[in-house]
Amino acid sequence: MQNWISHLPDGLADDPLLRTALTHRSAGEPHNERLEFLGDAVLELVVSEWLYCKPSQLTEGGMSRLRTRLVERDALCRVAQNMDLAGRIALSGTHAHPETPSPRVLAGAVEAIIGAVFEYAGWEAARAFVTALLTVAMQNLPEDPEDAKDAKTKLQECLARRHEAGPHYRTVSARGGQFIVHCTAGGVGGVGMGSSRQEAEFSAAAQCLEKLAG
């Protein structure tokens, strides 16, 4: 969603508040941590309200699983990539390469922008902005909350049914913004890669699940 600026409230694109939302703390004051805190809460509320109002009458557990699918770091990192945020975030110090900010920084920037929208224009504007950002993700959300379980959760449940311990995850490499993780579970192993440790763990767990199912 590279046209995300067009969904901002009138005037915010030129307001210093947006620049603050795009400033990591490594670049000095004012930075986006407080806006990130605010945006995290707004994001969860918008998604929670949307799930609550779905006609399928989801259970509390089902809503929680689907909400996690939409607001977890890897999901927000994908949103940030679609927004082409990497080159817009102000970084310095150990974050010396603004063209490749970490998944944590990218996800935090998305939350900070949401916080800025709420601070600048209130709840209705923030709800509209979040809905615009997450439209595709919301449309692709599975109807059955069981299908929203991530590979790590499914692997854990599979091992529990088999009365086996584990799984065990080991980070093999973490360089250049890429993680490689090895997973052992139920006598099988899997190797996953990803732009975050969690994403790599999901990939490794999925491999183990496939082997156990076969």
pLDDT of 2 > 80? The answer is: no
Q: Check if CATH label 1.10.1520.10 holds for domain 4-142.
A: yes
Is 210 one of the annotated active-site residues of the chain? no
For the cut 70, the answer to whether the pLDDT of residue 99 exceeds it is no
Give the pLDDT of residue 67.
Answer: 92
Query: Residue 209: pLDDT above 50?
Result: yes
40 annotated active-site? yes
Catalytic residue among 72, 111, 124, 199: 111
* pLDDT, greater one: 122 or 213: 122
First to last CA, the chain: 39
Same CATH topology for 4-142 and 151-213: the answer is: no
The single-letter code of the amino acid at 162 is: R
Instruction: Please indicate if the annotation marks 44 as binding a ligand.
Output: no
- In CATH terms, 151-213 corresponds, of 3.10.310.30, 2.60.40.10, 3.30.160.20, 3.30.1180.20, to 3.30.160.20
Tell me if 146 is assigned to a ligand binding site. no
Q: Quick one: pLDDT band at residue 213, thresholds 50, 70, 90? A: confident
Q: Where are the domains of the chain?
A: 4-142, 151-213
Catalytic-labelled residue, pool 10, 14, 40, 74: 40
pLDDT digits (tens, 9 = 90+) for 132-146: 999 888 888 877 666
On the question of pLDDT at 98 being above 50, the answer is no
